[in-house]
Every structure is written in structure tokens, then in C-alpha cells.
Structure 1
Amino acid sequence: MDNAKEQIVNLPNLISVIRILLAPVMFYFAFKQQSYWFFGVLLLAIFTDVLDGLLARTLNQATTLGSRLDSWGDFIIYSTMAICAWILWPDIMLRERFYFITIVLSFTLPVLVGLIKFHTIISYHTWSVKLAVAITTISYILLFAEILDWPFRIATLFCIYAAIEEIAITLLIRRQRVNVKTVWQILRNNHNTHNSM
């Protein structure tokens, strides 16, 4: 019982829960039209996203629950970012709507495919998704701080690739898995399994 409790209640999982709880705070500042505070909470959420994974590996506290909490936190925060952008910067959103819709679809379609097949949110944490999230988050800040708009458009390409890879992983595996770094890992495993039969 104690071991099970240690796996559920640990520092990385707590940080993931904190990230989820930051979503309503982001909504609050968006509705109040306080963009600077919104950016501050967003940066805190991004920091917790980096921190929970780092701590899970460093403290050897990586768990299936932690991986799923991390995925739930990511999905909630990135959905919140999208909705709050419409609240805070409707003119920019209209101008960049094609890229914005493409990015939103690239984050939601893999989740929907996973829900249909496994009845739960996927939690692969692929390298392509990590890269797409990093580029998209930086470009999001640059766009809505009205510094640069072209990085947001480039981020779309990275998001499309990441989405295709996650969907491919979901279609290729028979049982739900967590922490799958690339689709090539699945293809290699499937190839080895086929050869050993």
C-alpha cells in the first residue's frame, strides 16, 4: 500500500496538478484583459511542464499516472491558450486563423483518435511533439506580444508532422502505451516481433 501511495503522491505528479489548476487563472486574466499577467501565468505553466518531467527522471519517480497527468495538463493548458487568445487578441486571431486552426487541429486530432481507439487520452511524449510544443509556445508569445508573426506560421509545419506521427503510433499499436519517443520505435518493434514469429 505504501509503495502504491508513493507512486501516486509524488512531487512530479503534484507539479502536473498545479499546471492543471493554472488554467482557470489564465482564464481569469484573459477575461480581465490583463495580458501581462496572462503571459506570466502562461510562462509559469510552461515552466511546470518542463519541471515535472525533469523531476520524474531525476528522482526516478516516473509513473504511468504521472505520464497521464502530464498529458492531461498539456491538453488543458494548450486548449486554454487557444481559447484565451480569442478573448485577448481577436483581431490577430482572425488574421492568423488558418494557421491557428491548423495548430489546434494538430493537437486535438491525435487525442480524438486515441480516445476512439483506447477510450483515454494518449500519453506518448514523442520528440516531435516536444519540439512542436516548444516552437509553438515561443511563436505564440512572439505573435501575441506583436513582435513577430512568421514563426507562428512555421510552427504549423512542426505541429502537422507531430500530429501525423502520433496518429500513426495510435494506429500501429494494439494496446495503449506511454512514453513512445518516435513512430520508428514502434515500426522497429513490430518488425522485430514479426521476424521472431
Structure 2
Amino acid sequence: MTDAHHWRLPNLLSAFRLVAAPVLFLLALQGHREPFLWLLAAAFFTDAIDGTLARLTGQASRFGAMLDSWGDVAVYTAVAASMLLLWPELVRQEYLAFSAVVASFILPAVAGLVRFRRFTSYHTRLVKLAVVATAAGLFLLLLGVAAWPFRAAAVLAVLAALEEVAITLVLDRERSNVGGLWEVLRERRRDGPPA
């Protein structure tokens, strides 16, 4: 695949998050809550549509899956640090939920690095659901609407992380865009153990 193919719209949307992450952190350092929320909404939106757009247009690729994962890591890291700067009291109040969400991003990444020496990019259905729930719950929390959606999303994020770690332990090589643990186990049963 040529470099021009790497930079089609779905991958540009993923790359946007790589650029947005340091800007989010700078906005947090300067105490700009409203611009931070707008940029975060844009980052979450690109995360929601880049993979779907890639599949619908036939532009899904391993490069795109990895770029998407790197964009996610960058944004979630910036958000975790920024929350401590912009909403420290809220982080203290919801410490368990925030810790669970942060752990849900760190543990699968560490498992992938240890097992395959790279970040995994499974994009399971459960991870996609957890990301949407976490984004919605975070906004409801930050806007003062309710805390319970974020708490529920934290539980879902932990379940998604556990599934990702289990997939990492089951696979004999790293793969992108895995539907879920059951699909991996079914394929393994069908294909037999690795030679």
C-alpha cells in the first residue's frame, strides 16, 4: 500500500486524535474547560466513526487499526491527566470509577506489549460499547447531570479490558479487529492448536 493510501479519510480521523491529545492537555494546563470539552467531543466523534467509515468504504487496514489504537491511547492519556487539572474534586469524588476506566485502558495495553511487543488493536464489540458508554457517561458527569452512567460505564470498561487481556492470552499472534473472545475461541477450536 502506498503512502497516499495510508492517508485517506478514516486514517485522517484517527490521526486527528493524535494531534488533539496534546492540545487537550494544553487546554487543561491553561484551565480552559469549555474548549477542552468541545475538542474532546470532536475526538470522541472521530473515534466513533473512523472504523465504521473505513469498513464501509473498503479502506480498513492494519495500519488504520494501529493508528486508531494509537489515537485512542494518546487521547485517553491526555484526558486522564487533564481531568486531574480541570476537575480535581470530581476525580476525588469518583475515584473508583476513574481508576477503573484508567486501568481498563492500561492493562490490555501492557498485556499486548508483554505478549506481542506492541499495542493490540482488537476493537472488540465490547470495547466499542464501553468506549461509547464511557464517553457519554463522562460528559454527563462533567456537565453535572448524573454520576451513575459514568460508574456503570466504568464497570463495562473493566469487563471489556478483561476480555481483551483474555484474547491476548489466547492468541498465538497479534491480530487487529477481533469481534470478541468467543469468536477467537471458536476459531481456535475449528482450526486446532497452533503447530
TM range (shorter): over 0.9
| Offset, 1:79 | 1.5
Aligned partner of 1:10 among 8, 11, 33: 8
Indicate the residue corresponding to 1:40 in structure 2.
38
| Offset, 1:6 | 4.0
Aligned partner of 2:110 among 87, 96, 112: 112
Percent identity, aligned pairs only, is 40
CA contact (8 A) 1:7 1:63 kept: no
Q: Deviations over 1:104-158 (max 9, x none)?
A: 1111101100000111110000000001111111111111222211111111210
Q: Deviations over 1:30-73 (max 9, x none)?
A: 11211111100001111111232132112211110000000111
Runs (4 or more) in structure 1 with deviation over 3 Å come to: none
Indicate the residue corresponding to 1:175 in structure 2.
173
Q: Which range moves more in the overlay, 46-55 or 132-141?
A: 46-55
Measure, in 1, the Cα distance between the counterparts of 2:192 and 2:55. Answer: 32
Indicate the residue corresponding to 2:148 in structure 1.
150
Indicate the residue corresponding to 1:139 in structure 2.
137
Measure, in 2, the Cα distance between the counterparts of 1:71 and 1:104. Answer: 15
Q: Which range moves more in the overlay, 107-116 or 96-105?
A: 96-105
- Letter matched to residue 190 of structure 2: N
- Letter matched to residue 171 of structure 2: I
The TM-score, its normalising length taken from structure 1, stands at 0.94
Indicate the residue corresponding to 2:83 in structure 1.
85
The TM-score, its normalising length taken from structure 2, stands at 0.94
- Aligned partner of residue 175 in structure 1, secondary structure: coil
Indicate the residue corresponding to 1:49 in structure 2.
47
Q: Deviations over 1:69-126 (max 9, x none)?
A: 0011111111211111110010111111112111111111011000001111100000
- Letter matched to residue 10 of structure 1: R
CA contact (8 A) 1:106 1:162 kept: yes
CA contact (8 A) 2:65 2:121 kept: yes
Q: Deviations over 1:141-182 (max 9, x none)?
A: 111222211111111210111011000000000011000011
| Offset, 1:9 | 2.7
| Offset, 1:15 | 1.7
What is the number of equivalent residue pairs in this alignment? 194
Q: Which runs of 5+ in 1 are unaligned?
A: none
Indicate the residue corresponding to 1:66 in structure 2.
64
Measure, in 1, the Cα distance between the counterparts of 2:31 and 2:3. Answer: 41
Measure, in 2, the Cα distance between the counterparts of 1:184 and 1:59. Answer: 27
CA contact (8 A) 2:29 2:85 kept: yes
